[in-house]
Amino acid sequence: MIVATSGVLVTTGVVVALVRPTFDFFRAVSVTEFLGTTAWFPLYEPPDFGVWPLVIGTFSVMLVAVIIAVPGGLAIAFYLNQYASDRVRRNLKPILEILAGVPTVVFGFFAINFVGPNIAAKIWVFSDVGFYSALSAGITVGLMILPMMTTLAEDAMAAVPRALIEGSYALGATKRETCTGVIFPAALSGIIAAGVIAMSRAIGETTIVLLAAGSTANFSFDIGQPMQTMSSFIGFAGLGDQPTGSTGYQTIFAVGSLLFVITFLLNMLSRRIVSKFREVYE
């Protein structure tokens, strides 16, 4: 019984852990500066505390990742659901599971040694891509969450009643038409929920971004540039030892709160969507 409550403790613990130092942070740093300015150099002398570069960085990486993972996950899910033979399915699913089990730090290595030089640098025509870039990080994060998105989308599709699918074929529709015209709309709430979870995961990713996107909090929309995200900043700050109670230390918590709030809201959103738009087939 005592043991069971520990699960509850953790969530409340997260909130409690974040609240106090965040509070302290905002006593030292005005909210206007935090949300209103665009230079983020909290560990410099003199420090700047405009959080926007981190937010833009986070959403840039997330956008690239989602552009790869969501259509990709849907595509593979459609393939598994309507097109793949048993033999293909039996071989493809383990590959996806293995990919899902690869630790993020290994993906980070992959980003630096392959994706960055060979892909990001080659495809980005708008600017010169250096060693670190949000693009490289975004692509790699997208590849990392691809298996998860596939699994979630496939679960949503598998829940579509077979009668609907047969009804579609019985009207002479092709596989493609059944996928886009019947399965997709019928599985929509599950697919959207999956997409939101993918977004949330991409926002929270630390290690890959730390390795691939660098530690410059660039206030820029050019994803060929190095960028820092909220998560990678926290990691970066943590690497350098911050004395307890210092503003630098508190910055970790302030940004952490922001991160927690964003992902928490996204997860709530995902659950609302599922319950509100769940198709009822009765």
Q: Which of residues 99-118 bind another protein (CB under 8 A)?
A: 99, 101-110, 112-114
Scanning 23-31, 34-42, 45-53, 231-239 for contacts with another protein by CB under 8 A, the matching segment is 231-239
Sign of torsion over alpha carbons 198, 201, 203, 205 = negative
Q: Please state, in angstroms and as integers, the Cα–Cα distance from residue 207 to each residue in 56, 67, 211, following that order.
A: 18, 20, 6
Residue 250: name the closest of 33, 12, 44, 17 by CA: 17
Q: Could you say which of 6, 126, 128, 276 contacts another protein (CB under 8 A)?
A: 6
Q: Could you say which of 61, 137, 153, 259 contacts another protein (CB under 8 A)?
A: 259
> Does 125 participate in binding another protein (rule CB under 8 A)?
no
Q: Nearest approach, Cβ of 262 to another protein (angstroms)?
A: 10
User: What track of x and - describes contact with another protein for positions 132 through 171 (by CB under 8 A)?
Assistant: -----------x--xx--x----------x-xx-xxxxxx
| Six token digits for residue 76 | 């593979």
Q: Could you say which of 35, 71, 127, 275 contacts another protein (CB under 8 A)?
A: 71
When the beta carbons of 37 and 216 are compared against another protein, the nearer one is 216
Q: Nearest approach, Cβ of 46 to another protein (angstroms)?
A: 25
Q: Nearest approach, Cβ of 141 to another protein (angstroms)?
A: 12
